[in-house]
Structure 1
Amino acid sequence: MPYVNIKVTDEGVTSEQKQALIAGATKLVVDVLNKSPTTTFVIIEEVNTDNWGIGFEQVTELRRQASTSPADKT
Structure 2
Amino acid sequence: MPIIEMHMIEGRTVEQKQRVAAAVTAAVAESLDCSPETVRILITEHGREEFYVGGMTKSQRDALLEQK
Report the counterpart of residue 4 of structure 2 in structure 1.
Answer: 4
The structure with more helix, counted as a fraction of residues: 1
Whose Rg is larger? Answer: 1
TM-score by length of 1: 0.83
For 1:54 and 1:36, the matched residues in 2 are separated by 35
Q: Identity percentage over the alignment?
A: 26
**How much is the aligned-residue C-alpha RMSD, in angstroms?**
1.1
Structure 2 gaps of 5+ residues are none
Q: Look up the SS of the partner of 1:35 in the other structure.
A: coil
1:5 aligned counterpart, secondary structure: strand
2:51 aligned residue: 52
Q: Where in structure 1 are there 5+ consecutive unaligned residues?
A: none
1:29 corresponds to: 28
